[in-house]
């Protein structure tokens, strides 16, 4: 190889390196843009269920819409919109749809407390939804299964696998007494305070916890074809004394579910 050939070879290599470096930074930029574009809509039913997240987030804009207040901003470096929906399925569904349609949420997370109905579950334990179901949807008189919304092609609303994995990672750092479970969550417009009813829901739906919003959020996510997950911490056992137990334990349980949400956002 003469001098001229080796110089042109060197220039060729340099151009290749330059182009490859360019491609790398372009794909980094694309990844960063994709990351930034994701807006996470977070719904908590009660003040105590959004309080911690609200106090830790950097609020950029507060918007009153209908009777709800939406907080847009950042938490753990992730763009989020946080809202307190109020209790029950219609409140949750309405807030979820607003998050998507009016605030550009690409992902929905429902965070809060629940009544533990699985025998292995203790107070404060975390349940990550694999799927959600309406335990009070009942057209069994027409031979539909309990929870089946007639003529909908699913009985359970499947949670997103990536969000489930993120949530699992997000349980790091919880207090030692907290156990973590993954499983179905059952939702209805009823505060369950009956061992008999709790057992029926557990046996009928294989559910770990019962609450009043998750499947509504799941259904809205399903209808809008966007990913969702529900994270709940057990504030009571859904038995006869549930109301009193919840009063004493709701703050601790809300702290646990908020912890998981923040740790998830860190990893998004
Ligand atoms: N949320 C917390 N505890 C609950 C219960 N026992 N029933 C329904 N929703 C709940």
Task: Name the DSSP letter for residue 6.
Answer: H
Assigned domain for 21 exists: no
Contacts of 112 (CB under 8 A, 6+ apart): 44, 45, 46, 49, 211, 213, 231, 232, 233, 254, 257
Which of 197, 236, 239, 256, when mutated, tests ligand 1's pocket best, judged by the most ligand atoms within 8 Å of its CB? Answer: 236
pLDDT tens digits, one per residue of 29-74: 454 444 556 999 999 999 999 999 999 999 999 999 999 999 999 9
Assigned domain for 20 exists: no
Q: Can you name the residues that pair with 64 across neighbouring β-strands?
A: 69
Tell me, in angstroms, the distance from the centre of ligand 1 to residue 214's CA: 11
Q: Which stretches of the chain are assigned E, i.e. beta strand? A: 40-44, 58-65, 68-75, 78-84, 107-116, 126-134, 157-158, 180-187, 209-211, 228-236
Q: Distance (Å, rounded) from C-alpha 46 to C-alpha 95?
A: 13
Set 125, 211, 236, 237: catalytic member? 236
Assigned domain for 28 exists: no
Assigned domain for 126 exists: yes
pLDDT band, very low/low/confident/very high, at 21 (cuts 50, 70, 90): very low
> Would residue 47 show up in a list of annotated catalytic residues for this protein?
no
Tell me, in angstroms, the distance from the centre of ligand 1 to residue 210's CA: 6
Assigned domain for 262 exists: yes
Q: Distance (Å, rounded) from C-alpha 185 to C-alpha 230?
A: 8
Tell me, in angstroms, the distance from the centre of ligand 1 to residue 8's CA: 74
Give the chain's domain count: 1
Q: Can you give the pTM of this predicted structure?
A: 0.87
The average pLDDT across 170-180 equals 98
Assigned domain for 130 exists: yes
Element housing 99 (H / E): helix 89-103
> Would residue 49 show up in a list of annotated catalytic residues for this protein?
yes
Q: What is the CATH number of the domain that holds 102?
A: 3.40.50.1580
What is residue 81's three-state secondary structure?
Answer: strand
Assigned domain for 16 exists: no
136 within 8 A of 188, measured Cβ to Cβ = yes
Q: Is the pLDDT of residue 14 over 90?
A: no
Assigned domain for 8 exists: no
Per the structure, the complete domain to which residue 49 belongs is given by 38-267
Regarding the beta carbon of 112 and ligand 1, being less than 6 Å apart is answered: no
């Amino acid at each position: 190889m003469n001098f001229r050939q080796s110089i042109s070879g060197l220039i060729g290599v340099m151009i290749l390196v330059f182009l490859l470096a360019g491609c790398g930074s372009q794909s980094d930029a694309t990844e960063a843009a994709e990351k930034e574009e994701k807006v996470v809509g977070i719904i908590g039913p009660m003040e105590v269920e959004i309080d911690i997240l609200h106090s830790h987030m950097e609020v950029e804009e507060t918007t009153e819409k209908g009777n709800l207040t939406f907080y847009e901003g950042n938490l753990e470096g992730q763009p989020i919109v946080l809202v307190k929906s109020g209790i029950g399925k219609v409140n949750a569904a309405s807030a979820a749809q607003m998050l998507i349609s009016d605030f550009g949420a690409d992902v929905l997370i429902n965070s809060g407390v629940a009544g533990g109905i699985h025998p292995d579950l203790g107070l404060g334990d975390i349940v990550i939804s694999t799927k959600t179901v309406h335990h009070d949807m009942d057209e069994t008189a027409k031979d539909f299964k309990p929870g089946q919304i007639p003529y909908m092609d699913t009985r359970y609303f499947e949670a997103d696998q990536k969000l489930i994995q993120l949530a699992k990672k997000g349980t790091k750092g919880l207090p030692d007494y907290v156990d973590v479970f993954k499983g179905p969550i059952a939702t209805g417009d009823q505060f369950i305070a009956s061992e008999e009813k709790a057992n029926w829901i557990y046996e009928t739906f294989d559910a770990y916890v019962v609450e009043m919003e998750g499947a509504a959020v799941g259904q809205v996510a399903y209808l809008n074809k966007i990913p969702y997950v529900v994270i709940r911490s057990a504030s009571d056992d859904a038995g006869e004394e549930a109301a009193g137990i919840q009063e004493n334990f709701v703050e601790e349980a809300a702290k646990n579910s908020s912890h998981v949400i923040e740790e998830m956002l860190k990893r998004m």
